[in-house]
């Protein structure tokens, strides 16, 4: 007999109430929906949406009314191992792809190509952790395998982005998907057996996103202002040791990175075209004037790291501590920024512009 929508919702919510009584540790459940079997731990549960986290680190959003059945499994939730993840991606991508394991990453790449990506990823991993260690800022241990998918062509990348609900813009060179927790890039003709610089910059940018969302620097199940997320990723774009110790990279490094990564422009006019208050309050500038928004986010982040790094790191922790799946309204964004940097935003903006003029 077919359950009504109300009956299904009540049934599922009753199951959630049972899960609240389970012992310490994340409960493990099995859900059957539309012919699929999903195993994971619940992150958020309501009559409209249930969010599960799978052992592979994938976030699954489920409508309770579509659930055919579910049950609690024995034991508690545990992330899968790198070996388990490797078997899974091999099965998923088939014989046309190879899977290369490095110390911290699984790189899925076309079988007819050798792994040019793993060494850059490991360098970024060291730079990222070195930066926060240098500033005595602890980061969480990565729980899930870090998977990077290298597709055969840019057309394949654009199709993948479209299937995932992303805007496949003409500038797209790669992306980090927080839902799958994977990086997606495409192959590029090697230069003297090396990954070209523009591909390296893109890879490091997306890998910085992945690490930030997997180490607690950004909340993967919350909201991070776009200028914060993009500014931090740009900070690590150039394969330079300066990022690891928090030193200022050379102006040439900054110019090259900002021009190569998705074609952004970083002249002084674009850096000044968006007010600091606008970046703090909302993310709309990334739709209106993306070039200026990206470059200004990078400029602001470099300034804060150079002049106010303790406050900047405190601000990151403030954002990361917000409740999961909660809206980040303008009033809260302002309050969090001002609690870290002070209420005189105009004065801070003046100092930022002076820093830009002194470091063209």
pLDDT digit string (tens) for 46-105?
Answer: 778 889 999 999 999 988 888 888 888 988 999 999 999 999 999 999 999 999 999 999
Q: How many CB atoms lie within 10 A of CB 176?
A: 22
Instruction: Determine contact, residues 229/210, Cβ cutoff 8 Å.
Output: no
Q: Which domain holds residue 174?
A: 86-358
CATH code for the domain in which residue 54 is found: 2.30.30.520
pLDDT in tens, 301-346: 999 999 999 999 999 999 999 999 999 999 999 999 999 999 999 9
- Into how many domains does the chain fold? 2
Q: Examine the domain organization and report whether 232 and 297 are in the same domain.
A: yes
Q: Based on the fold, state whether residues 110 and 12 are members of the same structural domain.
A: no
Where residue 180 sits, what CATH number does that domain have? 1.10.390.10
Q: Tell me: do 115 and 32 sit in the same domain.
A: no
What distance in Å separates the CA atoms of residue 243 and residue 11, rounded to the nearest whole number?
52
Cα 330 to Cα 225, 292, 335: the distances in Å are: 10, 21, 9
- Residue 239's φ and ψ, nearest 5 degrees, are -75, 70
Structure tokens at 234: 């740009």
Main-chain phi, psi angles of 234, to 5 degrees:
-65, -35
> Are 178 and 304 found together in one domain?
yes
What does the alpha-carbon distance between residue 333 and residue 336 come to, in Å, rounded to a whole number?
Answer: 5
Task: Name which of 21, 54, 20 is nearest 36 in CA terms.
Answer: 54
Q: What is the pLDDT of residues 107-151, one digit of tens each?
A: 999 999 999 999 999 999 999 999 999 999 999 999 999 999 999
Q: 58, 76, 94: which is the final residue of a domain? A: 76
Shared domain for 54 and 178, answered yes or no, is no
Q: Is the pTM of this model over 0.85?
A: yes
| Residues 252, 117 share a domain | yes
Average pLDDT over residues 148-174: 92
Give residue 359's pLDDT band: very low, low, confident or very high (50, 70, 90): confident
pLDDT digits (tens, 9 = 90+) for 174-225: 999 999 999 999 998 877 678 999 999 999 999 999 999 999 999 999 999 9
- For 237, the enclosing helix (H) or strand (E) is none
Name the residue with higher pLDDT: 262 or 113: 113
The strand pairing partners of 191, in sequence order, are 194
Token code pair at residue 141: 């241990």
245 and 100 share one domain: yes
| Domain closes at, from 35, 50, 76 | 76
Residues 59, 161: one domain?
A: no
Tell me the backbone φ, ψ of residue 203, rounded to 5 degrees: -60, -45
């Amino acid at each position: 007999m077919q359950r009504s929508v109300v009956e299904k919702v009540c049934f599922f919510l009753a199951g959630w109430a049972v899960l609240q009584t389970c012992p310490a540790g994340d409960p493990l459940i099995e859900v059957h929906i539309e012919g699929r079997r999903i195993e994971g731990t619940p992150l958020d549960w309501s009559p409209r949406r249930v969010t599960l986290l799978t052992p592979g680190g994938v976030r699954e959003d489920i409508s309770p009314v579509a659930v055919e059945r579910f049950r609690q499994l024995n034991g508690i939730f545990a992330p899968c191992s790198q070996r388990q993840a490797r078997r899974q991606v091999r099965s998923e991508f088939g014989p046309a792809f190879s899977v290369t394991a490095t110390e911290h990453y699984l790189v899925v790449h076309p079988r007819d190509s050798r792994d040019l990506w793993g060494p850059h990823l490991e360098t970024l991993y060291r730079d990222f952790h070195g930066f926060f260690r240098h500033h005595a800022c602890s980061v969480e241990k990565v729980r899930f395998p870090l998977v990077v998918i290298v597709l055969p062509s840019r057309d394949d990348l654009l199709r993948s982005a479209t299937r995932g609900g992303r805007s496949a813009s003409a500038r797209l060179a790669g992306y980090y998907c927080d839902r799958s927790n994977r990086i997606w890039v495409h192959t590029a003709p090697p230069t003297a057996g090396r990954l070209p610089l523009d591909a390296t910059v893109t890879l490091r940018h997306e890998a910085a996103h992945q690490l930030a969302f997997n180490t607690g620097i950004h909340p993967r199940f919350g909201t991070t202002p776009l200028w914060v997320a993009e500014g931090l990723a740009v900070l690590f774009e150039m394969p330079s040791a300066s990022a690891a110790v928090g030193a200022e990279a050379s102006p040439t490094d900054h110019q090259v990175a900002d021009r190569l990564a998705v074609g952004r422009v970083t002249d002084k006019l674009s850096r000044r075209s968006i007010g600091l208050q606008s970046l703090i309050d909302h993310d709309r500038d990334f739709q209106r004037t993306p070039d200026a928004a990206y470059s200004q986010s990078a400029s602001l982040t470099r300034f804060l790291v150079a002049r106010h790094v303790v406050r900047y790191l405190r601000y990151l922790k403030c954002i990361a501590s917000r409740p999961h799946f909660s809206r980040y309204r303008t009033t809260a964004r302002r309050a969090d920024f001002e609690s870290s940097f002070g209420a005189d935003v105009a004065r801070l903006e003046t100092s930022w512009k002076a820093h830009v003029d002194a470091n063209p």
